[in-house]
Structure 1
Amino acid sequence: MAPQKVKTLYGKLKEIADYLIGEITPGMTCSQIYQMAIGKSKELKIADAFLNFGKGRKSRMIGHGIGLELNEPPILSTYNNSQISDGFVLALDMHMMDENVGVVKLEDMILVTNNGNQILTKSPRDLFEI
């Protein structure tokens, strides 16, 4: 059974992912999407844990494209002003780390369309506890 702190972190990570899945639209830039995720982490009061690698290091991306290769452009980072188009497949690839409990991670593959986004991930999105 996972400690409550792990469950809380994962729940908030999933909340960020669900928010992005509902809000990403064609025409947005990668930088806008990244900033939306950062803003949501601040709103949820977990910005210190969001994208944390420990020892003061943080990830500079929250996802990437999927195509012929597993990791392809566009990179969802603050430095990328590429626009997302209808039909893009993106992997939202985010984690949170609390140095007292460890890391939780969630990766969702989504299809971005003009008519709303579709989650392509087939595995359960609930916290897997051992």
Structure 2
Amino acid sequence: MQEADMKNLLRVLGIAAVVGVGVMIYRMIKQYREDSVFDLAPAAAAPGQKRSISPELLSILADPADKGPIELLTDAQGKEWLVNRRNGYRYPVEDGIPIMLLEEGEKNKDESLIQK
């Protein structure tokens, strides 16, 4: 009788281990997908093609000066900027990476961008 109980216990523990590993794999895949939402364009972009900020990342970025929303603009030379129209600060975007330093915004301030 004890031998049968031991076999049943080992079976239950084996099934629980398999279910546990399955849950761990599921959670790892789910976390990877959530983390991948904010990825930039592929690093190996086609020649002549620039990387840009993903719309998901742009929606959560905020101006470090006033913590308000910003927008992505491209100037006449094709350079991308993150612009705060409340104070005229422009933050450069280099190879798809926003440079969100307060000093950069102050240095590149453009009074013509301020909306009244």
Answer yes or no: same fold by TM over 0.5.
no
- TM-score of the superposed pair, with normalisation by structure 1: 0.28
Higher relative contact order (CA 8 A, sep 6+): 1
- TM-score of the superposed pair, with normalisation by structure 2: 0.30
Task: Kindly indicate which of the two structures has a greater share of residues assigned to strand.
Answer: 1
Considering only CA atoms, is the larger Rg found in Structure 1 or Structure 2?
2
